[in-house]
Amino acid sequence: MDRQRTNWWQVVLVLLIGAGAIDGFMWYLYNTYIPLYLQGGNPNFQADVIGFGLTPKTVGIILVLDNIAAFLLAPVIGAMSDGYRGRLGRRMPFVVATAPLAAIALAAVPLIYKGITPESSGNFQLLLPLFIPFFLMLMLVLVPLAVARTPIDALVYDLAPSKDRTKARSLGIILATLLSIGLGIGSSLLYDINITLPFILSLVVTLILTGIGLVSIKERKGSEIGAEDELANQANEMGLKRTLSVVRGFPEENKRSIIFMTLNIFLGMFGFSLIQAFISSYNMTVMGASQAQAGLPFLVAGATLMLVSFPAALLANKIGRKTTMMIGCLGWAAGALLIFMFPSKALFIPLMVMVAAFYTLWFVNSFVTLIDAAPDDKTLGTMTALTSMANMAGMSIGPALTGIVIEASGYNYGVIFLAQFIVVLLAFITLFPIKKGEIRANA
């Protein structure tokens, strides 16, 4: 039987919360400024910024804690949201309970950071009384967002059938990018006035969007979910054990495609994480940017992502998701290699545009390919959890390993692009065995 028609208004509201407030603006602030606050004051970190004086290796470990939390929580929360039968629906209660808390904690981070003086900058032992609450606030950002991500992603797939999922994902990227670029540019201006203002703006935006979503998003209640789905949710185990049990029950060709697509997402997000974690450091140390401008290359790449995302969805509908991803991986790897080989201010932004454009061809199609590699939609929360686990594993291991390499190379932040080139080529290879994951018939 055909699935429900896509309610695009509902999809947009969900995407505004998940892709916009969480993955767009909140993570832009986190990934732009937190690495600078942590490394500032380190004599080997050649950037005009005060901070706790930590090494890239230590910062890489700290920056992956959110991904470790998401990796551990995703299968549990995914299964819980599959089986939850609350009055407000299956997914939204998890989001409403966590996203505002994360935004509040993020707004507190710069207040603590302002306690660092130029005289104390880089003296970690002296700054330990500040670092402890600073780190606790980071945990209060990371863990709630790890809980929120899987349900909000699953809700998009609940609302959009297979034939519309690539379009929904591209729409999410556009909305996230519009918010992150618009608010990012505004936050750069606000940051020069007072460093707390961008974080307060993020809090306000998150609270408004979550409130609108709570009132307006109408998802399926327990009474609207079929008995077959109910039985399946009760029969399966929880957490990672449940996820593996579900996949083991699939036909052989589906299982093989899911395994290789999971590996592909792991490698692709490994490559992306290197830019996300260290691009502001690269921009300041290699390109000589100011602290307020440190995240601008990320915004340029984001603008490219926004422009290419919908054409990437249309291209996939025409030539197939797998072929589109293969083209994306090859172009992405080539762009990363060129940036590594030619670290020029004149070439940096054009090559970042190239990297972002080809990355988008892969990114728009990767997660939905894994989702649709399953035979049906009865366990969407569990399959979404699997995409999240692959995503977060790559996002965890990437910065941790690369931070060690950066330190070993004498603080050469350019190695992030060499590492990206290698893992993206490996991601390209993993696409060959995949046979499932295209748009399902009658869906």
Angle CA 265–267–269, to nearest 5: 65
What are the residue ranges spanned by the domains of the chain? Answer: 8-430
Contact 302/60 with Cβ under 8 angstroms? no
The CB-side HSE value for 240 (13 A sphere, CA atoms) comes to: 6
Distance CA 321, CA 207 (A): 35
Q: What is the CATH number of domain 8-430?
A: 1.20.1250.20
| pLDDT score recorded for residue 241 | 65
Q: Residues with Cβ < 8 Å from 435, sequence gap 6 or more?
A: 253, 256, 257
Q: Which stretches in the chain have pLDDT values below 70?
A: 1-4, 19-24, 66-67, 70, 74, 78-79, 82-86, 180-181, 183-184, 220-244, 291-292, 295, 378-379, 381, 441-443
Contact 364/312 with Cβ under 8 angstroms? yes
Tokens of 197: 């203002």
| pLDDT score recorded for residue 331 | 97
Nearest residue to 306 (alpha-carbon basis) of 427, 186, 395, 180 = 180
| pLDDT score recorded for residue 147 | 81
Could you read off the pLDDT of 63-86 as tens digits, one per residue? 777 667 767 776 777 667 766 666
pTM above 0.85, yes or no: no
| pLDDT score recorded for residue 114 | 93
Report CA torsion sign: 183, 189, 190, 191.
positive
Could you read off the pLDDT of 126-145 as tens digits, one per residue? 999 999 999 999 989 888 88
Tokens of 227: 């008995």
| pLDDT score recorded for residue 281 | 80
